[in-house]
Amino acid sequence: VKTMGFLGLFIGPVLMALLVAIWREWLREVELADELAPAAPAELEAAPPPQIEIVAEKKSQAG
């Protein structure tokens, strides 16, 4: 209590809880990204490549 004071007794646990919450959220995002990463190439391989259609331009005369 002498080094941090009474304010430190309240700020310390709040700061620690905040850091733990940020850490857990970061880990959850990493796990979700790992689950989605293997699924993406399989979806790309299953779908046929997009077809590009070439259309001739129609010339119009303004009169």
Residue 3 token pair: 């080094």
Model's pTM, two decimal places? 0.49
pLDDT band for 7, please (50, 70, 90 cuts).
confident
Residue 31 lies in a domain: yes
Residue-wise burial string across 10-46, b where 16 or more C-beta atoms lie within 10 A, e elsewhere: eeeeeeeeeeeeeeeeeeeeeeeeeeeeeeeeeeeee
Residue 61 lies in a domain: no
pLDDT tens digit sequence for 37-62? 775 555 556 667 678 787 777 776 66
Segments forming the whole domain that contains residue 10: 1-53
User: Number of folded domains in the chain?
Assistant: 1
Q: Quick: pLDDT tens for 15-37.
A: 999 999 999 999 999 998 888 87
Q: What integer pLDDT is reported at residue 5 of this predicted model?
A: 85
